[in-house]
Homo-oligomer: A and B are copies of this chain.
């Protein structure tokens, strides 16, 4: 190879080495690598040559120490089994990479408390924290605020603390789904919740049951699926084994909805949507495949991620900015997993969506 050096840890070249070779001061080297710094064109070229010759790259750690900005953003993501989150992660990573940030990933155990892990991430002086599928303890929120670290909840909100968030239209989605299922003539509705104390599940449920109550319908049956494939399967079994089996189930996300679909068809021999209507939430991954063809309220990935990236960057610029709760609009994408009401669906682009007559803004 072209690297005939000694066997192991070759000391990395430092700015001082480059300076020596280029015949300039270390400051000049620093300036050569700092966009906008005051340096003559010719000097910069000389430094760049020397840097290339030595294979020099500025040490991001040392730089962070002096600039006090790490350009690292801590991201917590759990439930990567749910296809929504890998997509989010990839989009977030690309969006932030494009702006010169990198992601320090951590994956809290669903079971265990995330706080100790978060602490480790804070030790890295992250410029911001994005929590994609974890709730934030109010203690930690306080710490972050005290330390001036912006925190953004993605697809979650927190009632404890005053923390910014980006979410889809959970409440409205739940309402629309109720309306849609009732319009489809279903009589025995059921809801499968995600994790009880997650804001997404609560809001979706609140929208769903709220609309039903307001319109004089019986409250739906209810089971808990914990946003987990197996748990959702079990929840489906309980529901479908009942003598008063529901004729429509709203499942709090698509990941669980696929599980329910599998159980309904392959264990109970039901036909969808003839025997059972199914509606999910997220409109992501396998839900779109023909095998599932899931009717689902869409959480538009890229708008949500773009919003998150923009908000995080703003918050880093101005840590004193007020908290914001951005809600990214979505729509109920109608496919084949639920009976389609005789009217009320309109085609938008290549998809069919549920278009309520007139809804009150929530």
Q: How many residues on A have C-beta within 8 angstroms of the other chain's C-beta atoms?
A: 68
Q: How many angstroms from the CA of A70 to the CA of B125 in the assembled complex? A: 13
A5, B12: Cα distance in complex, Å: 42
**Chain B residues with CB below 8 A from A89, complex form:** 80, 86, 89, 105, 107
Does the CB pair A9–B148 fall under 8 Å? yes
List B contacts of A34 (CB < 8 A).
Answer: none
Main secondary structure of the interface of A (DSSP, over half): mixed
Q: Contact check, A87 vs B94: say whether CB atoms are below 8 A apart.
A: no
Measured CA separation A143–B54 after assembly (Å): 11
Contact segment of A60-68, A174-182, A198-206, A327-335: A60-68
Task: Give this chain's copy count.
Answer: 2
- The distance in angstroms between the C-alpha atoms of A9 and B72, with both chains bound, is 17
Shortest Cβ distance from A132 into chain B, in angstroms? 12
B125 & A59 in contact (Cβ 8 Å cutoff): yes
Q: Which of chain B's residues have a CB closer than 8 A to the CB of A87? A: 80-81
Q: A8's contact among B85, B142, B148, by CB below 8 Å, is which? A: B148
* Interface membership of A215, Cβ < 8 A: no
A107 near B94 (CB under 8 angstroms)? yes
Taking a contact as CB atoms under 8 Å apart, the answer to whether A2 and B147 are in contact is no
Whether B107 contacts A90 by the Cβ 8 Å rule is: yes
Residue interface bits A255-266, CB-to-B below 8 A is 1, else 0? 000100110011
Residue A274 at the chain B interface, CB threshold 8 Å: no
Known: A55-B146, A83-B83. A320 touches B10 (CB 8 A): no
Docked complex Cα distance between A78 and B94 (Å): 11
B106 and A102 contacting across the interface, CB-CB below 8 Å: yes
Q: A94 to chain B: closest CB distance in Å?
A: 6
* Contact pattern, A 117-128, Cβ under 8 Å of B = 1, otherwise 0: 101111111000
Chain B nearest CB from A282 CB (Å) reads 15
CB of A291 within 8 Å of the partner chain? yes
CB neighbours of A65 from chain B (8 A): 61-62, 65
CA of A87 to CA of B96, assembled, Å: 22
Residues of B contacting A138 in the complex (Cβ-Cβ under 8 angstroms): 1
Q: Report the minimal beta-carbon distance from A268 to chain B, rounded to whole angstroms.
A: 12
Q: Which residues of B contact A83 (CB under 8 A)?
A: 83, 86
Closest to A290 in B: B266
Determine if A320 and B93 form an interchain contact, defined as CB atoms under 8 angstroms apart.
no
Contacts of A60 in B (CB 8 A): 120, 123-125
Q: List 6 A-B contacts (CB under 8 A).
A: A5-B146, A8-B319, A10-B146, A61-B65, A97-B107, A97-B117
User: Considering the complex of A and B, which 3 residue pairs feature the smallest CB-CB distances, nearest first?
Assistant: A9-B148, A266-B290, A86-B86
